[in-house]
């Protein structure tokens, strides 16, 4: 059976929902605290997939995902690179996306950070369901061009370093139709060139059952779009 590691850090608060979302797809998943990786009690390579869930890791005290990204970059980067080079899947959701960006793993593994997720243009925390445009990527297989998922962030505005702007189109995979934070080119999610590292701001783990969203309809039916995303993630392991 495939194995998924759901990474927890102090302040993470969506790990339980994420584990259950993976288990719904008949796949093994377990919560692993970052200290277990740092202390070599658990090995990333023992898993087929990694999900870094949403929340407020380390209280977002010096910026959303910043402290978590420090540990990833300074203590775990070599393990992450080997994991990625083997073609294994990584999904960062909200705070996890922020950590992947700030640890210089997305859009590509680099020495210099070329993008970030920063304060929303509105100046405050946004928690709402948003309409999204789905671009081509295997994690969105069997989804319509437009879906709806919830967001919950204060630092979700995607910005790109000036010299990298000309390249960003080949990384984007998910766009806001109703942009809640002022993201550059309405970007709500990106991937690396190998397509096995994904970062998205919306929370698919909060859309696993039709009753969770009163308004998301497709052909007259309410669909749990998040459940389909996790099904696709597991199928790619």
**CATH number for position 93:** 3.40.50.880
Low-confidence ranges of the chain (pLDDT < 70): 214, 216-222
Q: Choosing from 94, 137, 153, 207, which is the catalytic residue? A: 94
pLDDT tens across 95-127, in order? 999 999 999 999 999 889 999 999 999 999 999
In angstroms, what is the C-alpha Rg of the chain? 16
Q: Choosing from 15, 17, 155, 205, which is the catalytic residue? A: 205
User: pLDDT value at position 199?
Assistant: 98
Structure tokens at 60: 């977002």
Residue with tokens 């402290």: 67
User: pLDDT value at position 83?
Assistant: 98
Q: Choosing from 27, 148, 203, 207, which is the catalytic residue? A: 203
What distance in Å separates the CA atoms of residue 98 and residue 96, rounded to the nearest whole number?
A: 5
User: pLDDT value at position 60?
Assistant: 84
Residue 154's nearest CA partner among 20, 82, 61, 229 is 61
Q: Domain tally for the chain?
A: 1
User: pLDDT value at position 154?
Assistant: 94
User: pLDDT value at position 216?
Assistant: 59
203 noted as active-site residue: yes
> Taking the complete model, does pTM exceed 0.75, yes or no?
yes
124 noted as active-site residue: no
pLDDT tens across 176-193, in order? 998 999 999 999 999 999
Give the 3-state DSSP-derived string for 53-95, with helices as H, strands as E and coil as C. CCECHHHHECECCHHHHHHHHHHCHHHHHHHHHCCCEEEEECH
What distance in Å separates the CA atoms of residue 106 and residue 163, rounded to the nearest whole number?
A: 16
153 noted as active-site residue: no
Q: Could you tell me the residue range of the domain that residue 33 belongs to?
A: 3-235
């Amino acid at each position: 059976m495939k194995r998924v590691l759901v990474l927890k850090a102090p302040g993470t608060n969506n790990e339980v929902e994420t584990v259950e979302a993976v288990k719904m797809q008949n796949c093994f998943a377990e919560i692993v605290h970052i200290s277990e990786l740092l202390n070599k009690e658990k090995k990333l390579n023992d898993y087929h997939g990694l999900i870094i869930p949403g929340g407020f890791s380390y209280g977002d005290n010096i910026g959303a995902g910043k402290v978590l990204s420090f540990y990833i970059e300074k203590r775990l980067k070599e393990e992450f690179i080997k994991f990625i080079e083997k073609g294994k899947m990584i999904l960062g959701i909200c705070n996890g996306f922020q950590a992947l960006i700030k640890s210089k793993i997305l859009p590509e593994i680099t020495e210099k950070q070329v993008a970030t997720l920063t304060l929303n243009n509105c100046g405050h925390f946004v928690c709402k369901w948003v309409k999204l445009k789905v671009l081509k990527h295997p994690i969105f297989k069997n989804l319509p061009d437009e879906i709806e998922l919830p967001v919950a962030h204060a630092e979700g505005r995607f910005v790109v370093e000036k010299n990298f702007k000309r390249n960003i189109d080949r990384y984007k995979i998910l766009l806001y139709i109703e942009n809640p934070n002022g993201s550059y080119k309405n970007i709500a999610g990106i991937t690396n060139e190998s397509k096995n590292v994904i970062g998205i701001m919306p929370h698919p783990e909060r859309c696993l059952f039709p009753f969770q969203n009163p308004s998301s309809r497709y052909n007259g039916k309410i669909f749990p779009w998040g459940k389909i995303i996790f099904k696709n993630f597991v199928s790619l392991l």
